């Protein structure tokens, strides 16, 4: 039988797993996959981004578990490309390298006061309440009356909702215990969500928006005047998808609501942009400007600042205006889009020429938008080109065979799939008595210690 193609996939989120699934399904050529992940745990944002009160969405990991059982698959956790192994070393030792590293940081607002204590990226809060080991030392001061969330995407809704959940709503989830205690004990009375454009242009989806109106401990409120649409928005609404139409219907219903005395309020405001985050030592207020909406030359409805400003007192700000990629040493990087330059997944060098044998999928390929399933189509496109290149003899020759020896020489403690299964078992076991899906291990030490535990009689699967 012909020797299998050896592919390194960097990352273990949805894009990586969908790519692995497609590659392992190939018979000609046959493919073996090493999935290289910097954390000891797989699934990327499915474990560490998707809101913990949405367990049904996290359950996509069951499909990934099946992929991990296929012959030719190996998970190599606790290995960071750029730290433990370089891009050049991967290229030398694999027939192809596919980057699926996601978008590891946040987009900035670029306004004064953005770095004041109390001004946080949504990415930080999300990673904290989900138990990401790099974010557990953060101290969010939730003993404030008003929190402001900037942005109108689904992440902004996740953040606003998580801050509003009650103890009963949080108890059956895998939110970290520290985050549950902090949210339940928080002094927050109002969570104000600011959109720079209007209700028609909001990026959130209807199920997520509707949920905001069904919270046990928070009323959702919105001034009906916010829903008076300018002609440009009327035209956009008339031509828009069912999702947008439904969103506007939901908002119209929200606008009829009156406070029912729930302890917290989620208030939605549109056509407002923060221009400064104010405070001496820490966040005390956010200064916003009122926007008017108009169509630009391409017909896109854009926000244009007016002279009308307002200062809104608040103790904490979450900037939820999108994720952003980070550059990887040895690879070209487009700072504007936060992506690795590529043509349909074939990676390009700094001069725009194809880098043979190097590919990208998921958020690092197309930017930080799209739901979990979007990455399947995206990864399939990349894998088809990779396999086409393999069949056409367009992959470079490799000089070595995998990175095991190199990592061993460097003393890197690789967490293989069995190590992750040990972590998984420990977490599920800790959650079971409390009816929770799991209690996450959240520090590097806890995770690595758990990964070392082997059921009697078993040796690591390599
Ligand atoms: C807060 C949030 C909530 C979301 N909720 C939902 C939802 O409810 N439903 C839905 O359908 N979609 C949701 N999404 C979208 C979905 O999570 C993304 O579409 C998807 O995770 C992107 O997949 P990815 O594989 O490109 O990146 P990621 O999931 O981010 O995976 C990237 C992986 O690469 C690893 N990595 C990074 N750098 C390196 C390196 N140098 N070496 C080795 N490994 C590295 C990371 O640790 C990570 O595991 C959400 C997104 C966010 C941000
Ligand atoms: N439950 C789910 O299915 C779920 C949950 C979470 C995330 N996701 C997905 O994950 C992806 C990422 O979500 P996201 O919320 O991070 O990104 P997103 O959907 O791109 O939303 C970003 C929001 O930030 C706003 N924004 C950008 N720059 C701004 C600025 N300078 N000032 C004010 N507002 C600004 C955008 O407004 P403009 O439109 O005006 O640019 C938009 O409202 C999305 O595809 C999302 O659907 C899905």
Distance 316 CA to ligand 1 centre (A): 25
Mean pLDDT of 434-454: 96
Distance 219 CA to ligand 1 centre (A): 31
Written as six digits, the tokens of 301 are 């409805």
Average pLDDT, the chain: 96
Phi-psi region of 345 (alpha: psi -120 to 50; beta: other; left: phi over 0): left
Convert the pLDDT of each residue in 102-127 to its tens digit. Answer: 999 999 999 999 999 999 999 999 99
pLDDT for the residue numbered 455: 64
pLDDT for the residue numbered 458: 58
Distance 57 CA to ligand 1 centre (A): 13
Instruction: Check pLDDT > 50 for residue 1.
Output: yes
Cα separation of 272 and 292, whole Å? 9
Task: Please report, for the chain, how many H helices and E strands are present, in that order.
Answer: 17, 18
Convert the pLDDT of each residue in 81-102 to its tens digit. Answer: 999 999 999 999 999 999 999 9
Convert the pLDDT of each residue in 272-293 to its tens digit. Answer: 999 999 999 999 999 999 999 9
Instruction: Check pLDDT > 90 for residue 456.
Output: no
Stated pTM of the model: 0.97
Instruction: Check pLDDT > 90 for residue 323.
Output: yes
pLDDT for the residue numbered 246: 97
Distance 13 CA to ligand 1 centre (A): 5
Written as six digits, the tokens of 280 are 């001496």
pLDDT for the residue numbered 400: 82
The residue among 226, 171, 219, 154 whose CA lies nearest residue 191 is 219
Cα separation of 275 and 204, whole Å? 23
Take atom 21 of ligand 2 and give the residue whose Cα is closest: 153
Contact 68, 107 (CB under 8 A): no
The share of the chain scoring above pLDDT 90, in percent, equals 95
Take atom 1 of ligand 1 and give the residue whose Cα is closest: 49
Mean pLDDT of 258-280: 98
Which residues' Cβ are closer than 6 Å to ligand 2?
A: 109, 150-156, 158, 195-197, 201, 203, 205, 208, 273, 320-323, 368-371
Written as six digits, the tokens of 41 are 């745990």
Atom of ligand 2 nearest to the CA of 303: 40
Instruction: Identify the H or E element spanning 35.
Output: strand 31-36
Written as six digits, the tokens of 187 are 């002094």
Which residues' Cβ are closer than 6 Å to ligand 1?
A: 10-16, 36-39, 44-45, 49-50, 54, 57, 80-82, 100-102, 104, 126, 155, 158, 323, 362-363, 370-372, 374-375
Convert the pLDDT of each residue in 39-98 to its tens digit. Answer: 999 999 999 999 999 988 888 999 999 999 999 999 999 999 999 999 999 999 999 999
pLDDT for the residue numbered 402: 85
Helix, strand, or coil (residue 111): coil
């Amino acid at each position: 039988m012909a020797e299998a193609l050896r592919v390194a996939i960097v990352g273990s989120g949805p894009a990586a797993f969908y790519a692995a699934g497609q590659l392992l399904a190939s018979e000609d050529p046959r493919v073996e996959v090493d999935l290289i992940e910097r954390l000891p745990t797989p699934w990327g944002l499915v474990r560490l981004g998707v809101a913990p009160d949405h367990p049904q969405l996290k359950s996509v990991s069951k499909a990934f578990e099946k992929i991990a059982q296929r012959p030719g698959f190996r998970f190599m956790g606790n290995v960071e490309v750029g730290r433990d192994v370089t891009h050049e070393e991967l290229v030398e030792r694999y027939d192809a390298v596919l980057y699926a590293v996601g978008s590891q940081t946040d987009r900035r607002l670029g306004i004064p006061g953005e770095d004041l204590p109390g001004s946080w990226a949504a990415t930080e809060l999300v990673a904290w309440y989900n138990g990401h080991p790099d974010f557990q030392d953060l101290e969010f001061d939730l003993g404030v009356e008003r929190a402001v969330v900037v942005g109108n995407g689904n992440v902004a809704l996740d953040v606003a909702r998580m801050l509003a959940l009650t103890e009963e709503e949080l108890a059956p989830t895998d939110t970290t215990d520290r985050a549950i205690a902090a949210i339940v004990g928080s002094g927050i009375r109002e969570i104000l969500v600011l959109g720079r454009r209007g209700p028609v242009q909001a990026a959130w989806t209807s199920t997520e928006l509707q949920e905001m109106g069904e919270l046990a401990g928070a009323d959702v409120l919105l001034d009906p005047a916010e829903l008076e649409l300018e002609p440009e928005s009327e035209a956009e609404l008339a031509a828009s998808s069912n999702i947008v139409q439904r969103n506007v219907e939901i908002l119209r219903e929200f606008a009829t609501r009156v406070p029912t005395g729930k302890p917290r309020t989620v208030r939605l405001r549109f056509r407002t942009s923060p221009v400064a985050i104010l405070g001496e030592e820490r966040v005390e207020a956010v200064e916003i400007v009122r926007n008017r909406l108009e169509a630009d030359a391409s017909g896109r409805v854009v926000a244009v600042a007016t002279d009308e400003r307002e200062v809104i007192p608040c103790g904490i700000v979450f900037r939820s205006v999108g994720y952003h990629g980070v550059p990887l040493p040895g690879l070209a990087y487009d700072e504007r889009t936060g992506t690795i330059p590529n043509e349909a997944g074939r990676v390009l060098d700094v001069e725009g020429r194809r880098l043979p044998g190097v590919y990208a999928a998921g958020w690092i390929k197309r930017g930080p938008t799209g739901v979990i399933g979007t990455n399947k189509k995206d990864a399939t496109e990349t894998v088809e080109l990779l396999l086409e290149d393999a069949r056409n003899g367009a992959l470079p020759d490799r000089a070595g065979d995998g990175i095991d020896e190199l990592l061993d020489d460097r003393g890197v403690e690789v967490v293989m799939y069995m190590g992750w299964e040990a972590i998984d078992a420990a977490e599920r076991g800790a959650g079971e008595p409390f009816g929770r899906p799991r209690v996450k291990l959240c520090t590097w030490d806890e995770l690595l210690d758990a990964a070392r535990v082997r059921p009697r009689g078993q040796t690591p699967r390599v």
